[in-house]
Structure formats: C-alpha cells, structure tokens
Chain A
C-alpha cells in the first residue's frame, strides 16, 4: 500500500475490492476445506491485507464502516459513494 497517496478514490477502491474479494473467496473455500493448511495461511495473509486496504481507503477518502465515521462535528457516515451511486 506504499503508493496509495497518489491513487484516486476509484483506484484505491479497486485495491480494496480486490483485497476484500480474496477474503470472501477463501472464506467459502475454507468452509468446505477447514483443514487445508495452505488455504489457512493464505487466509491469514489475505485478511491482514484487506484490513490494511480498508484503513488506507478510510484514512484518505470516507468511511466504509459506520464504526469508522468521524462524529466530532458532523456525521461523516453520509460522505462518499453509496452502492446505488456511480463513483466519480
């Protein structure tokens, strides 16, 4: 994630969705292969990477989870592209 300073919201969201997808797909695989040592290692790495991507995106752009929303002066949860909208 070292180059995320230069990325647009759209570019960084691409990284976030790729990282989150990897977790989703490995999770389904592990549901039916719970003892696969290689998949377990891959999941650990994928999960750490996804968390880092979420944090990098939220730090630069807007909250993806309500628990990350800033509430010091206004309600930051409203900020950002909602799933019904097209990212600029």
Chain B
C-alpha cells in the first residue's frame, strides 16, 4: 500500500508565472514519456516479476515516479496560479485554457490526452526491463528538451534534478537486467 507524505522529494517553489512553459512541462505529467506512464508501467509490470530484486526495484522506482508526477503537477500549478484566460491566450496556450483552465490534466505538450498505450506489461521480466531502460532514456531526453526551452532558474533546478533521477533509474534497471540474465545462464 501507499502512505502519503505531505512533502515533495525536493521543495517546489516557483516565483514567476508562465502558462506556456507550464504547457510544455505538462508533457512530463501525462505525455508519452511522462511520470504517469512511468509509474503505471513499473507498478503494473512488478506483478509479473519473479525475483525479489525485480519486484522491489519496480515497486520502489514506480513509487518514486508517482512522487515526481506530483512535483510536475506542482510546477504546472505554480506557473499558472492566478493567471486568467487573457494571460493563457497571450502565452499562446488559450486552447488549453478552454478545456482545463488552471487545472492539471494528464496530456502531452501537444494536448494529446494520456493513454495506457504508452506502456506495456508483458509478463516477461527481460522484455519489461528492456522497455523500462528505454523509457528512462526517453524521459531523460524529454527533460533535456524542456531544459532547452526553459530560462526560469526555479524551474530549471527541479527539472535538472528529475533528469538526474532518470539516469539513476536507468543504471539500476541495467543492474537488474544483468542479474536476470546471469540467472538464465
């Protein structure tokens, strides 16, 4: 089960407003390589893992990704707090405002709603971990793209941190893959 803790992994404190930047960052909430897909992928795949290390790692990384989902939602909220229809329109994201106003909705930067088709669960530990390693690289690359678009240091610091976590997760999944493959041999 899960126990909620009233804090984020690192504090989220954004001073400036920027609805357009918020709409880009929202892709890591409900986009194709975002944190919702990551957490659902690992938390679903873990049921078919056979080794304790695999069950534990997918549970623990899946849980951390849920925490990252919350951080992304918090960044989006703080970047748009108090901004109205006109401001969203000026920033070029009036279309988002029409459907969701200041709400956080799981969608990609281009407005495509979240889909479970972004992830797989094959009951094959090797196939699943290989997917997970690719997923971590795609998430890392998306954070790189966000960093290229972002000039707000409050946001950049958090995005850099989240990017670094994807690199650590990739490393741990690689170790798990080695462990699983050596058991087969």
Contacts and interface: CB of A to CB of B under 8 A. Distances in A.
A83 B70 contact: yes
Most buried by B among A13, A20, A24, A65: A24
B19 interface: no
B172 A32 contact: yes
A14 B9 CA distance: 10
12 contacts: A20-B5, A20-B9, A27-B60, A28-B169, A31-B56, A63-B6, A65-B6, A66-B4, A83-B8, A83-B71, A86-B12, A86-B78
Size bracket of the A interface: 20 to 34
B106 interface: no
Contact of A24 (B57, B64, B71, B175): B64
Interface of B: 3-14, 53, 56-57, 60-61, 64, 70-71, 73-74, 77-78, 168-169, 172, 175-176, 179
Contact of B57 (A21, A28, A62, A65): A28
B75 to A, nearest CB: 10
Given A17-B11, A20-B9, 15 more contacts: A13-B7, A24-B60, A28-B169, A32-B176, A64-B7, A65-B3, A66-B4, A81-B6, A82-B6, A83-B7, A83-B8, A83-B12, A84-B73, A84-B74, A87-B11
Nearest to B54: A31
Contact of A32 (B4, B14, B70, B175): B175
Nearest to B71: A83
Interface string A76-88: 0000111111110
B15 to A, nearest CB: 8
Contact of A25 (B74, B77, B168, B179): B168
Nearest to A34: B53
A17 B168 contact: no
Interface string A47-88: 000000000000000111110000000000000111111110
A10 interface: yes
Given A16-B7, A17-B10, A83 B74 contact: yes
Contacts of A81: 6
A84 B8 CA distance: 9
Q: When A and B form their complex, which 5 residue pairs have the shortest distance between CB atoms, in order from nearest?
A: A32-B175, A31-B57, A31-B56, A64-B6, A83-B70
A17 B9 contact: yes
Nearest to B58: A31
Contacts of B64: 24, 28
